[in-house]
Amino acid sequence: MKILLVGEYSRLHSSLKEGLVALGHQVTIVSSGDGMKKFKTDINFNSKIKASFVLNKLNNLCIRFLNTDFIKIENAYRFKKIIPQLKDFDVVQLINEDALFIEPKTQIKLLQQLIITNKKLCVLCCGDDFTSVSYYLNKNLKYSILTPYLNNKALKNRFQFSLKYVTKPYKRLHEFVKKNSFGTIATDMDYHLPMQAQPQYLGFIPNPINTNKIDFTELKIDSKINIFLGINTRSKIKKGITFFEEALATIKDMYPEKVEIQITENLPYTQYIQVYNKAHILLDQVYAYDQGYNALEAMAKGKVVFTGAEQEWLEHYSLEKDTVAINALPDVDYLVQKLEWLILNPDKIIEISKNARQFIEIEHDYVTSAKKYIKAWSH
């Protein structure tokens, strides 16, 4: 098959491409590189404004005072120029309903051109979109990334990225994509649960991970247990990081001789990895039912990860709790209890570490995942 993957989130499409290519398919990725992460892509329409610190700051002022986002305007211009290259594909897959990060009205026009010259369109549910955000707002889950906002509406400005998906322009984009695609695939439990009732739902395919590119390091606990919390201040509230911070403060007082705690904020990637690689335990996020890419890659490396590992996830994979990851809850006392259990039972850290790697190799194998995509696209 000849496949076009549009957009990138946390290397999802890149890993999927590696699996598809291993199966003999011809694959092209067109993306902006996922913003500042700058992932490798075959055809790039990355914004020069976003890449410049000064221009990006000026653009933020334009958004604030003129309600005009020149990054989106530039993205539209750059994508329109490359559309003639994007034709005769058997399948076009969008990473998200807002895959191009362009104003909905303009994005619909560009997608229409893309649809005309290709055979079929598929869309992923692997981040915020109309269906998932609507589901979370209706409180259909006991918690979600929108829980802090639902508990405190004063935080509305901090959740504009998510809430935009239920505005009229983005709802129209959602309806256009839904009408013109043959179906949607969810990539983890947080999106599978909202999608289940949708008529065009093609099913749940776990995020692909190429473990050939991620080294597993067997953990050794010679002295102190290293616990790492890497904070991105922009997503701190959505991930429930405050619960981790409070739990770590308690653990530090309880076991100063047994633990070494590393807390960082907005570290450059190279420095982040240096600290990350030393960790036995990694604290990822609270408001999740399943793992995102950061947690999955940490598990592949053999870290014991506090992340989404809810009952629905356990049942899907036929797992017992606390065997491959620790389910993080918005409860400081619970988090302290789980951390204390690991500190007092270091053999459990070694056991969970090995289980985590094995789980990723079996359930998230990039070639196995690619086979599932081919089957879904052939629906």
Amino acid at 370: A
Same domain, 228 and 300: yes
For 131-159, the pLDDT digits (tens) are 999 999 999 999 999 999 999 999 999 99
Same domain, 9 and 83: yes
Q: Is the pLDDT of residue 327 over 60?
A: yes
For 46-77, the pLDDT digits (tens) are 788 887 888 888 888 888 888 888 888 888 89
Same domain, 370 and 310: no
Mean pLDDT throughout 338-366?
98
Q: pLDDT higher for 271 or 373?
A: 373
Q: How far is CA 332 from CA 250, 279, 282, in A?
A: 9, 21, 16
Q: What is the pLDDT of residue 34?
A: 47
For 257-302, the pLDDT digits (tens) are 999 999 999 888 788 888 899 999 999 999 999 999 999 999 999 9
Domain residues for the domain of 356 are 212-363
Same domain, 15 and 68: yes
Same domain, 255 and 188: no
Return the number of other C-beta atoms located less than 10 Å from residue 285's C-beta.
Answer: 23
Mean pLDDT throughout 32-52?
73
Q: Which residues pair with 304 in a beta bridge?
A: 281
Same domain, 303 and 166: no
pLDDT band of 24, cuts 50, 70, 90: very high
303, 277 Cβ separation under 8 angstroms: no
pLDDT band of 45, cuts 50, 70, 90: confident
Could you tell me where the beta strands, DSSP code E, fall in the chain? 2-6, 26-31, 43-44, 91-94, 121-125, 184-186, 201-204, 225-231, 259-265, 281-283, 304-307, 326-327
8, 95 Cβ separation under 8 angstroms: yes
Same domain, 175 and 303: no
Same domain, 370 and 290: no
Same domain, 63 and 26: yes
For 79-90, the pLDDT digits (tens) are 999 999 999 999
How many distinct structural domains can be found in the chain?
2
What's the pTM?
0.93
Same domain, 186 and 293: no
Identify the three-state secondary structure at position 313. helix
β-pairing, 201-204 with 304-307? unpaired
Q: Could you tell me the CATH number of the domain that includes residue 338?
A: 3.40.50.2000
Same domain, 199 and 173: yes
Report d(CA 245, CA 237) in Å as an integer: 12
Same domain, 240 and 185: no
